Structure 1
Amino acid sequence: MRITFLFPSLFIILLLFSSCEENSDVYYRKKNADLLINKNWVITGHYTRENNYLKKDKFVYYDACNRDDTFRFAKNGTYELNEGPTKCNANDPQVFQQGTWKVGYNNLELTKTGSSSPSNYLIVELNTYKLVLSSTETHQGDTYQEVLTFTAQ
Structure 2
Amino acid sequence: MKHYPLFFSLILLNLLPSCKGKKEDPAPLTPTQLLVGKRWELRSSVDSGPLFGTVDQYAAAPPCVRDNFLQFTEPNTCVYDEGPTLCDPSNPQTELGTWSLANDGTQLTISVGGYTVANTVDELTATSLKLTWTQMQGTTTAVRKNTYVAVP
Larger radius of gyration: 2
Letter in 1 for 2:145: V
In structure 1, C-alpha distance between the alignment counterparts of 2:134 and 2:86, rounded to whole Å: 30
Task: Name the counterpart of 2:77.
Answer: 78
Query: Which structure dedicates a bigger proportion of its chain to helix?
Result: 1
Letter in 2 for 1:103: L
Task: Name the counterpart of 1:129.
Answer: 127
- Give the secondary-structure state (helix, strand or coil) at the position aligned to 2:30: helix
Letter in 2 for 1:110: I
Residue 42 (1) aligns with residue 55 (2): no
Q: Which 4+ runs in 1 deviate beyond 6 A?
A: none
- Give the secondary-structure state (helix, strand or coil) at the position aligned to 1:47: strand
TM superposition score normalised by structure 2: 0.72
- Give the secondary-structure state (helix, strand or coil) at the position aligned to 1:55: strand
In structure 2, C-alpha distance between the alignment counterparts of 1:126 and 1:39, rounded to whole Å: 12
Structure 2 segments unaligned to the other structure (5+ residues): 1-26
Distance 1:54 1:118, change over 3 A: closer
Instruction: State the shift of 1:112 in Å.
Output: 2.9
In structure 1, C-alpha distance between the alignment counterparts of 2:110 and 2:82, rounded to whole Å: 18
Instruction: State the shift of 1:111 in Å.
Output: 2.4
Query: Which structure dedicates a bigger proportion of its chain to strand?
Result: 2
Task: Name the counterpart of 1:111.
Answer: 111
* Contact 2:123/2:130 (8 A) holds in 1: yes
Instruction: State the shift of 1:141 in Å.
Output: 2.0
TM superposition score normalised by structure 1: 0.72
* Contact 2:121/2:129 (8 A) holds in 1: yes
Instruction: State the shift of 1:54 in Å.
Output: 4.9
- Give the secondary-structure state (helix, strand or coil) at the position aligned to 1:60: helix
Q: Deviations over 1:21-68 (max 9, x none)?
A: xxxxxx99x711111101110100000110498522111111111111
In structure 2, C-alpha distance between the alignment counterparts of 1:101 and 1:150, rounded to whole Å: 16
CA RMSD of aligned residues (A): 2.4
Structure 1 segments unaligned to the other structure (5+ residues): 1-26
* Contact 2:80/2:112 (8 A) holds in 1: no
Percent identity reads 24
